[in-house]
């Protein structure tokens, strides 16, 4: 058996595209920093990001007759 740890994965930050090493102690994963994480959150809050699909209609599943 070998005692070597697996090689760390390198990925690009979804916000700034900077190469980042995937580490368990990075609390901002998958972002490289808190700044990039907050920028992305702001984009969702201001509706610059959206999940594709049809908008809900007048009737939704929570309306009970």
Q: 62 in helix, strand or coil?
A: coil
According to the model, what pLDDT value does residue 16 have? 96
3-state secondary structure 27-47: CCCCCCCHHHHHHHHHHHHCC
The token pair at 31 is 């972002």
State residue 12's pLDDT score.
96
Output the pTM of the full model: 0.65
Reduced to 3 DSSP states, what percent helix, strand and coil does the chain have, rounded to the nearest 5?
A: 20, 10, 70
pLDDT digits over 6-54, tens only? 677 899 999 999 999 988 888 899 999 999 999 999 999 998 988 888 7
* Residue that wins the pLDDT comparison between 56 and 39: 39
Of 51, 52, 18, give the one whose Cα is nearest residue 32.
18
How does DSSP classify residue 14?
Answer: T
């Amino acid at each position: 058996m070998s005692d070597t740890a697996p090689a760390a994965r390198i990925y690009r930050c979804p916000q700034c595209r900077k190469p980042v090493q995937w580490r368990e102690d990075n609390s901002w994963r998958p972002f490289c920093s808190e700044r990039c994480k907050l920028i992305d959150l702001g984009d969702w809050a201001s509706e610059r990001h959206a999940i594709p699909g049809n908008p809900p209609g007048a009737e939704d599943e929570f309306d009970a007759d």
